[in-house]
């Protein structure tokens, strides 16, 4: 059986960049997980539909992009509950959750368990928000050990807080490079939950 790697994209969906990532995935018949900002999801229901139609997965990222460690528990609860309501409006009941900046607290973990969500971090960070070129990012991933089965790779299909770039073109280019490598090494790019879209 082929081993899987998870390509994950945070902070979208974005009308310009998400379709380009989806097109790159489609060219290789690959799937991924998009950890969305819930307001962007309801502003772009067509993009959510496209992600799911492509067999990729929509996970929850946040409503407000604030570290849970910097918020009272009630604010973390409210963010998740509002986010799930918003995602429900676009037909998504997520199974996967990535907290803003990947920062999890006891409150995050308790909430995840009570809402039947699995928390996801990553083991390979592309730092794509910094604005490096795709080949440079690939080299940095090689320095972290390169691609192996079970890897969870962090990328962004939209500009989030702290982004030092004007767009996500290099993430699209990196996606194409990673998909080529995966194909050559018998790795299957999939979403974190087993790659199927989850419709409510
Ligand atoms: Zn983010």
Are 158 and 125 in contact, with CB atoms under 8 Å apart?
no
CATH class of 3-190: alpha beta
The predicted pLDDT at position 193 comes to: 84
State in Å: Cα 55 to ligand 1 middle.
Answer: 22
State in Å: Cα 56 to ligand 1 middle.
Answer: 18
Q: Which residues contact 22 (CB under 8 A, 6 or more apart)?
A: 50, 51, 54, 56
Other beta carbons within 10 angstroms of residue 103's beta carbon come to 13
Where do the structural domains in the chain lie, given as residue ranges? 3-190
Please state, in angstroms and rounded to a whole number, the distance separating the CA atoms of residues 43 and 27. Answer: 26
Residues identified as active-site: 10, 156
> In whole angstroms, how far apart are CA 195 and each of 58, 118, 125, 182?
10, 14, 20, 16
The predicted pLDDT at position 194 comes to: 65
Average pLDDT over residues 73-101: 97
Please state, in angstroms and rounded to a whole number, the distance separating the CA atoms of residues 188 and 168. Answer: 23
State in Å: Cα 103 to ligand 1 middle.
Answer: 10
State in Å: Cα 1 to ligand 1 middle.
Answer: 32
For a pLDDT cut of 70, what percent of the chain falls above it?
Answer: 96
State in Å: Cα 188 to ligand 1 middle.
Answer: 25
For a pLDDT cut of 90, what percent of the chain falls above it?
Answer: 90
The 10s digit of each residue's pLDDT in 149-162 is: 999 999 999 999 98
> Which pTM value belongs to this model?
0.95
Helix, coil or strand: residue 96: strand
The 10s digit of each residue's pLDDT in 149-195 is: 999 999 999 999 989 999 999 999 999 999 999 999 989 999 998 64
State in Å: Cα 79 to ligand 1 middle.
Answer: 14
Place of tokens 């998740």: 80
């Amino acid at each position: 059986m082929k081993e899987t790697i998870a390509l994950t994209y945070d902070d979208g969906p974005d009308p310009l960049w998400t379709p380009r990532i989806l097109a790159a995935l489609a060219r290789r018949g690959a799937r991924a997980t998009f950890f969305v900002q819930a307001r962007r999801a309801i502003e772009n229901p067509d993009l959510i539909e496209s992600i799911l139609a492509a067999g990729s997965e929509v996970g929850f990222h946040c409503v407000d992009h604030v570290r849970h460690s910097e918020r009272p528990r009630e604010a973390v609860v409210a963010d998740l509950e509002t986010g799930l309501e918003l995602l429900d409006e676009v037909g998504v009941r997520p199974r996967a959750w990535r907290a803003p900046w990947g920062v999890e607290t006891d409150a995050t973990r308790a909430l995840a368990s009570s809402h039947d969500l699995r928390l996801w971090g990553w083991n390979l960070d592309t730092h794509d928000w910094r604005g490096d070129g795709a080949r440079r990012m690939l080299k940095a991933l090689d320095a972290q050990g390169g691609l192996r089965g079970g890897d969870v790779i962090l990328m962004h299909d939209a500009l989030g807080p702290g982004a030092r770039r004007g767009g996500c073109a290099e993430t699209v280019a990196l996606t194409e490079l990673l998909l080529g490598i995966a194909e050559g090494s018998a790795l299957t790019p999939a979403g974190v939950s087993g790659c199927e879209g989850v419709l409510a």
